[in-house]
């Protein structure tokens, strides 16, 4: 089967990984390199043409279009992602999510609640990027392991969406040496940020100050921001998201996705998992009714996995097919020269991205701060269904007795 083929390919291509396993346990453990791919279609042999005009080489840290704020969220999906999606919907804001398919909540494709959350992100028009499979530190792993981290993540995402991302954010913002070339070789934009809220540190006064301080020091006529926060943290979902939306609007910035603030057509955000070509722009088909019931009954306290996916998919279909890229690009030409915009891709703007591994504590902090309320196992839903069947039988029985 395909997973075996991929695993074999990895073992053949990287004899060091296999041979050194027992002698260098600590190193293997530190790299958290997965040995087997998740269930799904093998994407490792696809052609990956460069899509659109957003650069694949340099580390992207800011938008090319001034006046934009792209809210980005890393490390999910997890227990609070649904709440973040609710807030974004309520405020009519599109954001960007860099996903790990096997991070704080384990393999997301095994849990219907997270499959539904990822589908919802996609159908509601948010921009989904990759953040590696297990949140590995890309400066500590080999080229072969980086390939595994990226390809396994796309197999999992494609298992849910049928497409996988073209934007990649390196965990911990660590991507030195040959790392950038490895990412680009797999057809990904290296997608960083120029505004770090540092929400993972847990000091939300400071996080708010970080956000508003950057906006206040800029000018929407010239500046734009790609901000970083984490949807796996309760306080981010409860207070920071709304604060960021309100402040961005107060300072006259338009909230948008990373792809939109770079003027990239939505179809270039993803590749077809069968062909490697650009996404065809079509939303996912609406969920089957029994799936919807399941996700409702499984909803953990902080994850209101609203089941509005079917209605919202219609609106996002309209949104994606209305050629959003061309509208965005025209804004850019009126506001900034093209030379200025290409410069801003490389420019690291201000001291926010000072090379500090801002993301670094997040994986250590997350287990303690992240919700431990993983949804009940999927065995739960048949019980529900069974219970309603028993109720019906009982009602019939009572009915018969009455007659």
Given the rule CB under 5 A, which residues bind Zn ion? 74-75, 171, 359
Catalytic (active site) residue 230: yes
- State which residue, 86 or 137, has the beta carbon closest to Zn ion: 137
- State which residue, 74 or 182, has the beta carbon closest to Zn ion: 74
Catalytic residue chosen out of the listed positions 126, 230, 233, 352? 230
Catalytic residue chosen out of the listed positions 74, 116, 196, 359? 74
Measured from each CB, the residue nearest to Zn ion is 74
Q: How far is the CB of 72 from Zn ion (least distance, A)?
A: 11
> Cα dist. 59→126, 141, 168, 175, 348 in Å?
22, 19, 10, 9, 9
Compute the half-sphere exposure of residue 195: CA atoms within 13 Å on the CB side of its CA.
30
Whether cis (ω within 30° of 0) applies to the bond prior to 77 is yes
Q: How far is the CB of 111 from Zn ion (least distance, A)?
A: 20
Integer-rounded Cα Rg, in Å, for the chain is 22
Q: How far is the CB of 227 from Zn ion (least distance, A)?
A: 14
- State which residue, 42 or 74, has the beta carbon closest to Zn ion: 74
Helix (H, G, I), strand (E, B) or coil at 129: strand
Instruction: Give the position of tokens 């949807």.
Output: 231
- Using CA atoms of 139, 144, 146, 152 in order, give the dihedral in degrees to the nearest 10: -160
Residue 377, C-beta contacts closer than 8 angstroms, at least 6 positions apart: none
- State which residue, 173 or 257, has the beta carbon closest to Zn ion: 173
> Cα dist. 6→36, 38, 79, 158, 166 in Å?
8, 11, 31, 16, 21
Q: How far is the CB of 97 from Zn ion (least distance, A)?
A: 11
Q: How far is the CB of 359 from Zn ion (least distance, A)?
A: 4
- State which residue, 171 or 218, has the beta carbon closest to Zn ion: 171
- State which residue, 119 or 131, has the beta carbon closest to Zn ion: 131
CB-count burial class (<10 Å; 0-12, 13-18, 19+) for 304: middle
> Cα dist. 356→3, 156, 174, 360 in Å?
37, 30, 9, 9
What residues does 129 pair with on adjacent strands?
98
Candidates 286, 296, 285, 289; CA nearest to 112 is: 296
Catalytic (active site) residue 74: yes
Q: How far is the CB of 295 from Zn ion (least distance, A)?
A: 26
Q: How far is the CB of 343 from Zn ion (least distance, A)?
A: 27
Q: What DSSP string runs through 261-272?
A: HTT--GGGGEEE
Is the CA virtual torsion 331, 334, 338, 339 positive or negative? Answer: negative
- Residue 339 tokens read as 């030379």
List active site positions. 74, 230
């Amino acid at each position: 089967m395909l997973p075996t083929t991929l695993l074999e390919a990895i073992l053949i291509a990287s004899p060091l990984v296999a041979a050194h396993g027992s002698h260098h346990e600590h190193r293997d453990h530190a790299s958290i390199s997965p040995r087997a791919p998740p269930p799904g279609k093998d994407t490792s042999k696809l052609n990956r043409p460069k899509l659109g005009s957003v650069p694949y080489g340099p580390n992207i840290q800011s938008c090319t279009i001034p006046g934009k704020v792209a809210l980005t969220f890393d490390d999910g999906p997890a227990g609070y992602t649904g709440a973040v999606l609710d807030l974004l919907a309520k405020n009519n804001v599109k954001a960007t999510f860099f996903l790990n398919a096997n991070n704080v909540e384990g393999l997301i494709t095994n849990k219907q609640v997270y499959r539904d959350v990822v589908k919802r992100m996609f159908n509601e028009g948010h921009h989904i990027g990759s953040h590696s499979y297990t949140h590995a530190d890309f400066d500590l792993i080999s080229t072969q392991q980086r390939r595994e981290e990226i390809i396994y993540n796309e197999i999992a995402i494609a298992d849910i969406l049928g497409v996988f991302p073209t934007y990649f954010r390196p965990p911990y913002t660590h991507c030195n040496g040959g790392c950038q070339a490895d990412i680009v070789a797999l057809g990904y934009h290296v997608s960083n940020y120029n505004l770090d809220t540092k929400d993972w540190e847990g000091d939300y006064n400071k996080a708010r100050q970080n956000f508003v301080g950057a906006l206040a020091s800029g000018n929407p006529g010239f500046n734009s921001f790609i901000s970083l926060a984490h949807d796996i943290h309760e306080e981010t979902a409860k207070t920071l998201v709304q604060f960021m939306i309100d402040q961005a609007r107060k300072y006259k910035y338009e909230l948008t996705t990373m792809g939109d603030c770079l003027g990239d057509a939505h179809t270039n955000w993803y590749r077809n998992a069968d062909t490697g070509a650009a996404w065809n722009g079509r939303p996912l088909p609406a969920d089957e009714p029994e799936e919807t019931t399941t996700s409702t009954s499984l909803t953990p306290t902080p994850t209101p996995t609203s089941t509005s996916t079917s209605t919202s998919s219609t609106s996002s279909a309209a949104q994606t097919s209305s050629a959003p890229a061309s509208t965005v690009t025209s804004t850019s030409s009126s506001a900034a020269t093209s030379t200025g915009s290409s410069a801003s891709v490389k420019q690291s703007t201000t001291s926010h991205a000072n090379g500090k591994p801002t993301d670094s504590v997040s994986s250590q902090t997350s287990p303690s701060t992240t919700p431990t309320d993983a949804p009940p196992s999927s065995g739960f839903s048949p019980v529900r269904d069974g219970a309603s069947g028993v109720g019906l039988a009982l009602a019939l029985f009572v009915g018969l007795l009455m007659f």
